[in-house]
Structure 1
């Protein structure tokens, strides 16, 4: 079977193009984020996997849940996904839509794993340095990973910086192999 990202890409691009044309990128982003959360929630997955529900019923349910956040173009988009049995792609479609949005806004999210809590000053310094390096406005998504022993691992766009102690130890072990 094809990769999820490959299957989601044309839907994300179509949604983004439609959103741009209607000057409604923010509204689309909000809606996609909401329905992606619903479809990744255990109750939402269970409801959408119910064998007696038709594609139309699944789309109607999602559209009703979205309530005021929904609009005609988005409702039709959800219906197309349901008709093509692609509702499970909504989380990936949302991620790709967000990436397209960040690309348009010249912004990026850097995922930072740290062995310890980073102070606000450290986060600000790191964000500024990454913004200069990537030539984009960078916001940080920081998580704690005690397995790193010390240091940080940064992932932003195609950039990966492993400044962790465990990463350095792994490199050293690789170099010491005969």
Structure 2
């Protein structure tokens, strides 16, 4: 939702800037990712919607966060609760992760393969993508036997379809034209 992104961006950016300044980017990423997952739980969403007092909502999130939240993370929950923005925590989590990826000059690549890729194949694919994209690549590999053979790679807006199924579909489209 575009509205949630607009609301979440300032919180994600402020948290990211603070994390960079305090040299705690990785721990903040873990903390915000965890809280984003908590805030996307249906039971938690219901409790947050039912809670009218900001301090009660903040206390709820801080109790759920437990040891995952440091003092600064607790302060973020309090500020978001005061502004009635705790429901956008999942989007804050996504945006924060994007800021971290850009900061570290890394990108996630979703790889769908017809067969399981061994470590050497994954390393070769990652190296090839890193060369093409100019950034460090983290592969998220899954298997889809309906591809017949080959792989599909998705990186942000880039789609590389090297599957037999994709090639057959393109060939069929050309023949119909």
TM-score, normalization by structure 1: 0.84
Q: 1: CA distance between counterparts of 2:152 and 2:5?
A: 24
Q: Which residue of 1 aligns with 2:62?
A: 63
Other-structure match for 1:20: 20
The 1:128/1:150 distance shift into structure 2, 3 A limit, reads same
SS at match of 1:14: helix
Query: Cα offset for 1:112?
Result: 1.0
Q: CA RMSD in A?
A: 2.3
**Runs of 4+ in structure 1 over 6 Å off:** none
Aligned to 1:118, what secondary structure does the other structure show? coil
TM-score, normalising length: structure 2: 0.84
C-alpha change, 1:4 and 1:115, in structure 2 (3 Å) is farther
CA displacement at 1:89 relative to structure 2: 2.2
1:96-115 alignment runs, 5 A limit: 96-115=95-114
2:81 match: 82
Give yes or no for the alignment of 1:72 onto 2:71.
yes
TM-aligned CA deviation for residue 38 of structure 1: 1.2
Residue of structure 1 equivalent to 2:29: 29
Deviations 1:108-130, CA, capped at 9 Å, x for gaps: 22111122221122111111111
Taking the aligned partners of 1:147 and 1:3, their CA distance within structure 2 comes to: 37
2:4 aligns with 4
State which drifts further: 137-146 or 166-175: 166-175
Counterpart of 1:122 in structure 2 is 121
Q: Distance in 1 between matches of 2:3 and 2:169?
A: 30
> How many residue pairs align between the two structures?
177
- Checking the alignment, whether the CA contact within 8 Å between 2:80 and 2:86 is kept in structure 1 is yes
Task: Give CA-to-partner distance per residue, 1:46-67, whole Å, 9 cap, x none.
Answer: 4334x24533222211112222
SS of equivalent to 1:117 = coil
The answer (yes or no) to whether the contact 2:4–2:91 under 8 Å persists in 1 is yes
Q: Indicate the residue corresponding to 1:47 in structure 2.
A: 47
Q: Determine if contact 1:109/1:141 at 8 Å carries over to the other structure.
A: yes
Query: Are the counterparts in 1 of residues 51 and 57 from structure 2 also a CA contact under 8 Å?
Result: no
Q: Kindly indicate whether the alpha-carbon contact (under 8 Å) linking 1:27 and 1:69 is maintained by their aligned counterparts in 2.
A: no
Q: Which residue number in structure 2 is paired with residue 166 of structure 1? A: 165
Which ranges in structure 2 are unaligned for 5 or more consecutive residues?
A: none
